[in-house]
Amino acid sequence: MTGRRFVGIICALISLVACSGSSGDLNGDRPASPVTASTVAVGSTLARIQARNNVIIGVKYDVPLFGLRDPATGTLSGFDIEISKMVAQALFPGKGDPLGHVQFVEALSKDREQFLQNGDVDLVISTYTITDARKLLVDFAGPYYIAGQDILAKREDIESGVIAGVGDLNGRKVCAVTGSTSLANLKAAAPKADTTVTKERYPDCFKALQAGQVDAMTTDDVILLGLEQSDLGRFQTTGNPFHSEPYGIGIPKGDTSLRALINGELQSAFTDGRWAAAFARTVGKVSKSVPNPPAISR
Ligand code: GLU
Protein backbone atom coordinates (compact mmCIF):
# COMPACT_ATOMS: atom_id res chain seq x y z
CA MET A 1 0.00 0.00 0.00
CA THR A 2 1.37 3.41 -0.87
CA GLY A 3 1.81 5.95 1.89
CA ARG A 4 -0.71 8.24 0.22
CA ARG A 5 -3.36 5.56 0.01
CA PHE A 6 -2.71 4.53 3.60
CA VAL A 7 -3.20 8.08 4.85
CA GLY A 8 -6.36 8.34 2.77
CA ILE A 9 -7.79 5.26 4.42
CA ILE A 10 -6.85 6.45 7.87
CA CYS A 11 -8.53 9.78 7.13
CA ALA A 12 -11.67 8.00 6.06
CA LEU A 13 -11.64 5.94 9.23
CA ILE A 14 -11.02 8.66 11.71
CA SER A 15 -13.06 11.25 9.85
CA LEU A 16 -11.94 14.62 8.53
CA VAL A 17 -10.89 15.88 11.89
CA ALA A 18 -7.23 14.90 11.99
CA CYS A 19 -6.64 15.20 8.26
CA SER A 20 -8.44 18.33 7.24
CA GLY A 21 -5.39 20.59 7.22
CA SER A 22 -3.56 18.57 4.57
CA SER A 23 -6.19 16.76 2.58
CA GLY A 24 -5.46 18.85 -0.52
CA ASP A 25 -1.83 17.76 -0.60
CA LEU A 26 -2.48 14.16 0.18
CA ASN A 27 -5.18 13.76 -2.44
CA GLY A 28 -3.67 15.93 -5.13
CA ASP A 29 -6.31 14.94 -7.67
CA ARG A 30 -9.18 15.95 -5.43
CA PRO A 31 -10.02 19.45 -4.18
CA ALA A 32 -9.29 20.05 -0.53
CA SER A 33 -12.41 19.53 1.49
CA PRO A 34 -12.72 19.75 5.24
CA VAL A 35 -15.79 17.60 5.46
CA THR A 36 -17.23 14.74 3.50
CA ALA A 37 -20.82 13.58 3.45
CA SER A 38 -19.83 10.23 4.95
CA THR A 39 -18.23 11.78 8.02
CA VAL A 40 -20.64 14.55 8.93
CA ALA A 41 -23.67 13.68 11.03
CA VAL A 42 -26.90 14.85 9.45
CA GLY A 43 -28.33 17.82 11.33
CA SER A 44 -25.05 18.59 13.07
CA THR A 45 -23.51 22.06 13.22
CA LEU A 46 -20.74 20.81 10.95
CA ALA A 47 -23.33 19.77 8.36
CA ARG A 48 -24.92 23.23 8.53
CA ILE A 49 -21.52 24.90 8.14
CA GLN A 50 -20.76 22.71 5.16
CA ALA A 51 -24.09 23.37 3.46
CA ARG A 52 -23.76 27.13 3.97
CA ASN A 53 -20.08 27.17 3.02
CA ASN A 54 -19.49 29.55 5.89
CA VAL A 55 -19.28 29.56 9.66
CA ILE A 56 -21.15 32.02 11.87
CA ILE A 57 -19.06 33.08 14.85
CA GLY A 58 -20.20 35.19 17.79
CA VAL A 59 -17.45 37.55 18.96
CA LYS A 60 -17.13 40.75 20.95
CA TYR A 61 -17.18 44.04 19.01
CA ASP A 62 -16.15 46.31 21.87
CA VAL A 63 -13.40 44.52 23.77
CA PRO A 64 -9.94 45.86 22.88
CA LEU A 65 -7.27 43.18 22.32
CA PHE A 66 -9.87 40.39 21.87
CA GLY A 67 -12.72 41.48 19.65
CA LEU A 68 -12.89 45.11 18.58
CA ARG A 69 -14.72 46.57 15.59
CA ASP A 70 -13.27 49.62 13.88
CA PRO A 71 -16.36 51.79 13.31
CA ALA A 72 -14.79 53.47 10.27
CA THR A 73 -13.90 50.32 8.34
CA GLY A 74 -16.00 47.65 10.06
CA THR A 75 -12.82 45.59 10.46
CA LEU A 76 -12.59 43.34 13.51
CA SER A 77 -9.33 42.77 15.33
CA GLY A 78 -8.08 40.99 18.44
CA PHE A 79 -6.99 37.60 19.71
CA ASP A 80 -10.49 36.08 19.43
CA ILE A 81 -10.59 37.16 15.79
CA GLU A 82 -7.21 35.49 15.22
CA ILE A 83 -8.52 32.30 16.84
CA SER A 84 -11.62 32.54 14.61
CA LYS A 85 -9.32 32.69 11.58
CA MET A 86 -7.54 29.51 12.68
CA VAL A 87 -10.82 27.69 13.14
CA ALA A 88 -12.02 28.83 9.71
CA GLN A 89 -8.76 27.59 8.21
CA ALA A 90 -9.44 24.14 9.67
CA LEU A 91 -13.04 24.16 8.43
CA PHE A 92 -12.22 25.38 4.91
CA PRO A 93 -8.67 24.27 4.09
CA GLY A 94 -7.35 25.26 0.69
CA LYS A 95 -10.38 27.43 0.01
CA GLY A 96 -8.75 30.84 -0.11
CA ASP A 97 -8.93 33.47 2.61
CA PRO A 98 -10.41 31.72 5.66
CA LEU A 99 -12.13 34.95 6.71
CA GLY A 100 -14.06 34.83 3.44
CA HIS A 101 -15.93 31.91 4.99
CA VAL A 102 -16.70 33.62 8.29
CA GLN A 103 -19.75 35.63 9.20
CA PHE A 104 -19.16 37.48 12.45
CA VAL A 105 -22.04 38.34 14.76
CA GLU A 106 -21.74 40.41 17.93
CA ALA A 107 -22.19 38.20 20.99
CA LEU A 108 -22.57 40.13 24.23
CA SER A 109 -21.80 38.22 27.42
CA LYS A 110 -25.48 37.73 28.25
CA ASP A 111 -26.36 36.35 24.79
CA ARG A 112 -23.78 33.61 24.30
CA GLU A 113 -25.55 30.46 25.53
CA GLN A 114 -28.82 31.52 23.93
CA PHE A 115 -27.19 32.20 20.56
CA LEU A 116 -25.67 28.71 20.56
CA GLN A 117 -28.86 27.04 21.75
CA ASN A 118 -31.00 28.82 19.16
CA GLY A 119 -28.57 28.08 16.33
CA ASP A 120 -28.07 31.82 15.73
CA VAL A 121 -24.33 31.15 15.66
CA ASP A 122 -22.22 28.03 15.06
CA LEU A 123 -19.48 29.06 17.49
CA VAL A 124 -18.82 31.61 20.18
CA ILE A 125 -15.27 32.96 20.48
CA SER A 126 -15.90 35.83 22.82
CA THR A 127 -13.69 35.94 25.95
CA TYR A 128 -15.90 33.02 26.96
CA THR A 129 -14.95 31.22 30.17
CA ILE A 130 -15.49 27.48 30.40
CA THR A 131 -17.58 26.78 33.51
CA ASP A 132 -19.52 23.76 34.78
CA ALA A 133 -22.74 25.79 34.80
CA ARG A 134 -22.32 26.77 31.15
CA LYS A 135 -21.36 23.20 30.24
CA LEU A 136 -24.90 22.17 31.14
CA LEU A 137 -26.10 24.33 28.25
CA VAL A 138 -23.29 24.33 25.66
CA ASP A 139 -20.03 22.51 24.93
CA PHE A 140 -16.56 23.99 24.76
CA ALA A 141 -13.42 23.35 22.76
CA GLY A 142 -10.15 24.53 24.25
CA PRO A 143 -9.19 26.24 26.45
CA TYR A 144 -7.05 28.47 24.23
CA TYR A 145 -6.12 31.04 26.88
CA ILE A 146 -6.28 31.35 30.68
CA ALA A 147 -7.25 34.80 31.92
CA GLY A 148 -7.62 35.85 35.56
CA GLN A 149 -10.31 38.04 37.06
CA ASP A 150 -8.96 41.30 38.46
CA ILE A 151 -10.19 44.71 39.60
CA LEU A 152 -9.71 48.09 37.93
CA ALA A 153 -9.88 51.21 40.11
CA LYS A 154 -8.41 54.68 40.45
CA ARG A 155 -4.62 54.54 40.54
CA GLU A 156 -4.49 56.17 43.98
CA ASP A 157 -6.88 53.57 45.42
CA ILE A 158 -4.71 50.77 44.09
CA GLU A 159 -1.37 52.33 45.02
CA SER A 160 -2.46 53.25 48.54
CA GLY A 161 -3.73 49.71 49.10
CA VAL A 162 -7.30 50.90 49.72
CA ILE A 163 -8.28 48.37 47.05
CA ALA A 164 -5.75 45.56 47.21
CA GLY A 165 -7.96 42.57 46.62
CA VAL A 166 -11.51 41.38 46.11
CA GLY A 167 -12.33 41.57 49.84
CA ASP A 168 -11.86 45.34 49.64
CA LEU A 169 -14.84 45.57 47.29
CA ASN A 170 -17.25 44.81 50.16
CA GLY A 171 -19.16 48.02 50.85
CA ARG A 172 -17.99 49.59 47.58
CA LYS A 173 -19.79 50.20 44.30
CA VAL A 174 -18.50 47.87 41.62
CA CYS A 175 -19.59 47.62 37.98
CA ALA A 176 -19.72 44.25 36.23
CA VAL A 177 -21.32 43.00 33.04
CA THR A 178 -24.55 41.01 32.98
CA GLY A 179 -24.22 37.36 32.00
CA SER A 180 -20.49 37.31 32.83
CA THR A 181 -18.68 35.09 35.27
CA SER A 182 -17.14 38.33 36.55
CA LEU A 183 -20.43 39.38 38.15
CA ALA A 184 -21.11 35.92 39.63
CA ASN A 185 -17.55 35.60 40.98
CA LEU A 186 -17.73 39.10 42.49
CA LYS A 187 -20.98 38.30 44.30
CA ALA A 188 -19.46 35.08 45.66
CA ALA A 189 -16.13 36.60 46.74
CA ALA A 190 -17.39 39.97 48.03
CA PRO A 191 -21.05 39.46 48.98
CA LYS A 192 -21.31 42.95 50.47
CA ALA A 193 -20.14 44.72 47.32
CA ASP A 194 -22.77 47.06 45.88
CA THR A 195 -23.53 45.57 42.45
CA THR A 196 -26.47 47.77 41.56
CA VAL A 197 -24.60 49.25 38.59
CA THR A 198 -24.39 46.58 35.90
CA LYS A 199 -23.92 47.06 32.16
CA GLU A 200 -24.18 44.93 29.05
CA ARG A 201 -20.88 46.19 27.65
CA TYR A 202 -17.41 46.52 29.13
CA PRO A 203 -16.74 50.04 27.82
CA ASP A 204 -19.91 51.18 29.62
CA CYS A 205 -18.58 49.88 32.95
CA PHE A 206 -15.35 51.72 32.23
CA LYS A 207 -17.30 54.93 31.52
CA ALA A 208 -19.11 54.54 34.86
CA LEU A 209 -15.72 54.19 36.56
CA GLN A 210 -14.30 57.21 34.74
CA ALA A 211 -17.36 59.27 35.71
CA GLY A 212 -16.97 58.29 39.37
CA GLN A 213 -20.32 56.47 39.45
CA VAL A 214 -18.59 53.35 40.81
CA ASP A 215 -15.42 52.74 42.82
CA ALA A 216 -14.20 49.87 40.67
CA MET A 217 -15.05 47.50 37.87
CA THR A 218 -14.17 43.84 37.69
CA THR A 219 -13.59 41.35 34.91
CA ASP A 220 -10.75 39.45 33.24
CA ASP A 221 -7.32 41.04 33.55
CA VAL A 222 -6.78 41.13 29.78
CA ILE A 223 -10.07 42.95 29.18
CA LEU A 224 -9.17 45.50 31.87
CA LEU A 225 -5.72 45.87 30.33
CA GLY A 226 -7.26 46.77 26.98
CA LEU A 227 -9.67 49.31 28.49
CA GLU A 228 -7.18 51.02 30.75
CA GLN A 229 -4.95 51.73 27.71
CA SER A 230 -7.39 54.38 26.53
CA ASP A 231 -7.02 56.36 29.77
CA LEU A 232 -3.52 55.46 30.75
CA GLY A 233 -2.35 56.60 34.13
CA ARG A 234 -5.67 57.27 35.82
CA PHE A 235 -6.71 53.68 36.46
CA GLN A 236 -4.87 50.54 37.45
CA THR A 237 -5.49 46.87 38.19
CA THR A 238 -4.37 45.16 41.40
CA GLY A 239 -2.20 42.78 39.35
CA ASN A 240 -3.44 40.10 41.71
CA PRO A 241 -6.22 38.14 39.94
CA PHE A 242 -8.64 36.34 42.25
CA HIS A 243 -10.29 33.86 39.86
CA SER A 244 -9.03 31.73 36.97
CA GLU A 245 -10.92 32.19 33.68
CA PRO A 246 -10.09 29.59 31.01
CA TYR A 247 -11.33 30.83 27.62
CA GLY A 248 -13.05 28.20 25.48
CA ILE A 249 -14.76 28.11 22.11
CA GLY A 250 -18.47 27.67 22.70
CA ILE A 251 -20.18 25.10 20.47
CA PRO A 252 -23.71 23.74 20.44
CA LYS A 253 -24.20 20.89 22.90
CA GLY A 254 -23.38 17.45 21.58
CA ASP A 255 -21.39 18.48 18.49
CA THR A 256 -18.48 16.20 19.31
CA SER A 257 -16.89 16.08 15.85
CA LEU A 258 -16.86 19.87 15.59
CA ARG A 259 -15.29 20.04 19.04
CA ALA A 260 -12.63 17.47 18.05
CA LEU A 261 -11.86 19.35 14.84
CA ILE A 262 -11.40 22.63 16.70
CA ASN A 263 -9.31 21.04 19.44
CA GLY A 264 -7.08 19.48 16.78
CA GLU A 265 -6.59 22.86 15.12
CA LEU A 266 -5.85 24.59 18.42
CA GLN A 267 -3.29 21.93 19.29
CA SER A 268 -1.52 22.40 15.94
CA ALA A 269 -1.55 26.19 16.38
CA PHE A 270 -0.05 25.76 19.87
CA THR A 271 2.67 23.50 18.47
CA ASP A 272 3.60 25.26 15.22
CA GLY A 273 3.82 28.75 16.71
CA ARG A 274 0.69 30.27 15.09
CA TRP A 275 -0.96 30.68 18.49
CA ALA A 276 2.03 32.52 19.99
CA ALA A 277 2.34 34.74 16.89
CA ALA A 278 -1.37 35.60 17.06
CA PHE A 279 -1.02 36.45 20.76
CA ALA A 280 2.02 38.63 20.06
CA ARG A 281 0.12 40.52 17.31
CA THR A 282 -2.79 41.31 19.60
CA VAL A 283 -2.69 41.02 23.40
CA GLY A 284 1.11 40.88 23.30
CA LYS A 285 1.21 44.49 22.11
CA VAL A 286 0.35 45.65 25.60
CA SER A 287 0.77 42.61 27.85
CA LYS A 288 4.21 42.24 29.39
CA SER A 289 4.35 38.48 29.08
CA VAL A 290 3.51 35.93 26.38
CA PRO A 291 2.15 32.90 28.23
CA ASN A 292 2.56 29.26 27.29
CA PRO A 293 -0.51 27.78 25.60
CA PRO A 294 -2.81 25.96 28.01
CA ALA A 295 -3.51 22.21 28.00
CA ILE A 296 -6.62 21.36 25.99
CA SER A 297 -9.33 19.40 27.85
CA ARG A 298 -10.23 16.36 25.81
N1 GLU B 1 -14.61 35.58 30.74
C2 GLU B 1 -15.75 36.01 31.48
C3 GLU B 1 -17.02 35.39 30.98
O4 GLU B 1 -17.01 34.57 30.10
C5 GLU B 1 -15.85 37.51 31.50
C6 GLU B 1 -15.67 38.16 30.17
C7 GLU B 1 -16.95 38.24 29.37
O8 GLU B 1 -17.99 38.63 29.89
O9 GLU B 1 -16.89 37.93 28.19
O10 GLU B 1 -18.07 35.66 31.46
Local mean pLDDT, 10-residue blocks, the chain (298 residues): 34 33 30 50 92 97 98 97 97 93 98 98 98 98 98 97 98 98 98 98 98 98 94 92 98 96 98 96 89 93
Residue 21 maps to a domain: yes
Does residue 229 share a domain with residue 106? no
CATH code for the domain of 221: 3.40.190.10
* CB distance 237 to ligand 1 below 6 Å: no
Residue 84 maps to a domain: yes
d(CA 226, CA 283): 8
Q: What is the pLDDT of residue 244?
A: 97
Does residue 106 share a domain with residue 191? no
Residue 295 maps to a domain: no
Give 261's contacts (C-beta < 8 A, 6+ positions apart).
Answer: 16, 17, 20, 34, 46, 90, 91
Contact (Cβ atoms closer than 8 angstroms) between residue 187 and residue 193: yes
The stretches of 155-218 forming alpha helices (DSSP H) are 155-159, 181-189, 202-210
Ligand 1 centroid vs 183 CA: distance in angstroms? 9
Does residue 197 share a domain with residue 59? no
Ligand 1 centroid vs 181 CA: distance in angstroms? 6
Q: What are residue 106's DSSP bridge partners? A: 59
Number of domains in the chain: 2
* CB distance 245 to ligand 1 below 6 Å: yes
Q: What is the pLDDT of residue 175?
A: 98
Ligand 1 centroid vs 146 CA: distance in angstroms? 12
Q: What is the pLDDT of residue 13?
A: 30
Q: What is the pLDDT of residue 43?
A: 87
Q: What is the pLDDT of residue 233?
A: 86
Q: What is the pLDDT of residue 230?
A: 86
User: Where in the sequence is the domain holding 192, given as residue range(s)?
Assistant: 147-244
Does residue 98 share a domain with residue 77? yes
Tell which phi-psi region holds residue 78, choosing left (phi > 0), alpha (psi between -120 and 50) or beta. Answer: left
Does residue 175 share a domain with residue 42? no
Residue 293 maps to a domain: no
Q: What is the pLDDT of residue 266?
A: 98
Ligand 1 centroid vs 4 CA: distance in angstroms? 44
First-to-last CA distance in the chain?
32
Residue 298 maps to a domain: no
Does residue 267 share a domain with residue 195? no
d(CA 77, CA 68): 5
Q: What is the pLDDT of residue 5?
A: 36
DSSP 8-state symbol, 73: T
* CB distance 129 to ligand 1 below 6 Å: yes
Nearest CA to ligand 1 atom 6: 127
Does residue 251 share a domain with residue 114? yes
The CB density around residue 76, as the number of other CB atoms within 10 Å, is 20
Does residue 159 share a domain with residue 173? yes
Does residue 12 share a domain with residue 121? yes
Residue 10 maps to a domain: yes
Ligand 1 centroid vs 23 CA: distance in angstroms? 36
* CB distance 174 to ligand 1 below 6 Å: no
Atom of ligand 1 nearest to the CA of 219: 5
Q: What is the pLDDT of residue 270?
A: 98
Q: Which helix (H) or strand (E) holds 102?
A: strand 102-106
Does residue 264 share a domain with residue 118? yes
Q: What is the pLDDT of residue 227?
A: 95
Does residue 166 share a domain with residue 21? no
Tell which phi-psi region holds residue 15, choosing left (phi > 0), alpha (psi between -120 and 50) or beta. Answer: left
